[in-house]
């Protein structure tokens, strides 16, 4: 069977790779407070986003401000929760909880966007998620509060993705992307109102990594937004699992990490689950050609 990728799937692959670069940049400045990293990342995004919007002659305020603010709020809360779990939990456990977001996106899309999900897709999601568990070496002894924060982050991310879907045809993708950092900046600064002593000025290469964080995030957010507007949430959300593969590659090549055999098996399951999910409709037609 020849595999054909839709425009939305290609865009999500680009987005996941850009987010992989973002993760590398964030890891390089891991000694900085999370709120500060979020702030500088958002600041770079605002500058890039505003320049792009002005060149296109589009109003930066958008038309549906309520939905745009919801997208920014959900995305910001999801990001903060995810970063918190990364600091408080083993990396594998934090990533596993975070990757509940694509499954939750599909479930919420049934309610929020009226999308229909093919039964086979649930099986493929299960294969993909099982692969993620193997890659990250899931454990059962995890702190309760970080675990709840991770679950909350996954829910907020899923809400953000479905809000993006609802903005299709209503707002320019660049405007949708801009509202994320616009909301993130005041939330990040609010932290330092209570703990100003935590602020640490970047120096040397930290400035470059922070700049790279903002640029890669801007690219990732743009292509992710376009992906959700071009295709079904259930299809493109599954492709986001490719991010775990970019992360594994970065770990091997840049951070000198190693993986067990079962983790490589898990990577294969992730790839298989993504490919099968993308082609779920075609597979259904092959096995049940007469079904309406």
Query: How does pLDDT run across 104-142, given as a tens digit for each residue?
Result: 777 788 777 677 777 777 888 888 778 777 766 654 455
Separation CA 92–CA 122 (nearest Å): 23
Between CA 256 and CA 251 the distance in angstroms is: 6
Question: What percentage of the chain reaches a pLDDT higher than 70?
Answer: 85
Q: What is the pLDDT of residue 90?
A: 59
Residue 57 pLDDT exceeds 50: yes
Give tens-digit pLDDT for 145-177.
887 888 898 899 989 988 887 887 788 888 888
Residue 281, CA atoms < 13 Å, CB-side half-sphere: 10
What's the average model confidence in pLDDT over 178-202?
90
Q: What is the pLDDT of residue 288?
A: 67
Q: CA 158, CA 171: separation in Å to the nearest integer?
A: 19
Tell me what pLDDT residue 68 has: 92
Would you state the pLDDT for residue 97? 73
How high is the pLDDT of residue 19?
A: 83
SS3 31: coil
Average pLDDT, the chain: 80
- Return d(Cα 185, Cα 190) in angstroms, integer: 9
What confidence score (pLDDT) does residue 140 get? 45
70-82: b (≥16 Cβ within 10 Å) or e: bbbbbbbbbbbbb
1 or 162, higher pLDDT: 162
Q: Which of 182-191, 216-225, 261-270 has the highest mean pLDDT?
A: 182-191
233 vs 202, residue with greater confidence: 202
pLDDT recorded at residue 207: 93
φ, ψ for residue 93, nearest 5 deg: -65, -40
- What single DSSP character describes residue 59? -
Give the pLDDT score at 234: 66
HSE at residue 43, side-chain half, CA atoms within 13 A, is 11
What is the model's pLDDT at position 117? 72
Report residue 211's pLDDT band, with 50, 70 and 90 as the boundaries.
very high
Task: Report which secondary-structure segment, H or E, holds 279.
Answer: none
From residue 283, alpha-carbon distances to 1, 118, 122, 227, 278 in Å are 9, 10, 14, 22, 10
In this prediction, residues 90-98 reach a mean pLDDT of 66
Over residues 93-97, the mean pLDDT reads 68
Mean pLDDT of 210-224: 88
- Please identify which residue in the block is written with the tokens 């298989």: 272
Residues recorded for the chain: 292
What percentage of the chain has pLDDT greater than the value 90?
A: 11
47-50-55 Cα angle (round to 5): 125
pTM over 0.85? The answer is: no
Taking CA 7 as the corner, what is the angle to CA 103 and CA 73, rounded to the nearest 5 degrees? Answer: 50
Q: How far is 18 from 257, CA to CA, in rounded Å? A: 21
Question: Which residue, chain included where needed, has tokens 């990250």?
Answer: 136
Task: Please tell me the distance from the alpha carbon of residue 131 to that of residue 241, in angstroms, as a whole number.
Answer: 10
pLDDT of residue 292: 44
């Amino acid at each position: 069977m020849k595999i054909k990728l839709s425009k939305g799937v290609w865009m999500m692959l680009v987005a996941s790779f850009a987010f992989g670069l973002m993760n590398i940049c964030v890891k390089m400045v891991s000694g900085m407070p999370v709120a500060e990293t979020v702030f500088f990342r958002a600041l770079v995004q605002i500058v890039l986003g505003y320049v792009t919007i002005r060149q296109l002659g589009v109003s930066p305020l958008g038309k549906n401000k309520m939905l745009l603010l919801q997208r920014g709020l959900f995305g910001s809360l999801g990001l903060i929760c995810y970063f918190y779990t990364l600091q408080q939990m083993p990396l594998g456990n934090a990533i596993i909880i975070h990757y509940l977001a694509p499954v939750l996106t599909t479930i919420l899309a049934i309610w929020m966007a009226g999308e229909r999900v093919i039964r086979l897709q649930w099986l493929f999601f299960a294969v993909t998620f099982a692969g993620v568990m193997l890659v990250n070496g899931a454990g059962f002894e995890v702190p309760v509060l970080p675990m709840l924060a991770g679950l909350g982050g996954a829910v907020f991310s899923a809400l953000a993705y479905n809000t993006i879907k609802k903005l299709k045809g209503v707002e320019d993708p660049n405007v949708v992307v801009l509202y994320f950092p616009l909301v993130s900046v005041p939330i990040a600064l609010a932290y330092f109102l209570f703990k100003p002593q935590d602020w640490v000025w970047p120096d040397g290469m930290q400035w470059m990594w922070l700049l790279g964080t903002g640029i890669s995030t801007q690219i990732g957010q743009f292509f992710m937004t376009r992906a959700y507007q071009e295709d079904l949430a259930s299809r493109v959300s599954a492709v986001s699992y490719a991010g775990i593969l970019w992360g594994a590659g970065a770990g091997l090549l840049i951070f000198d990490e190693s993986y067990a055999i079962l983790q490589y098996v898990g990577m294969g399951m992730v790839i298989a689950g993504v490919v099968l999910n993308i082609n779920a409709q075609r597979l259904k037609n092959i096995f049940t050609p007469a079904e309406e």
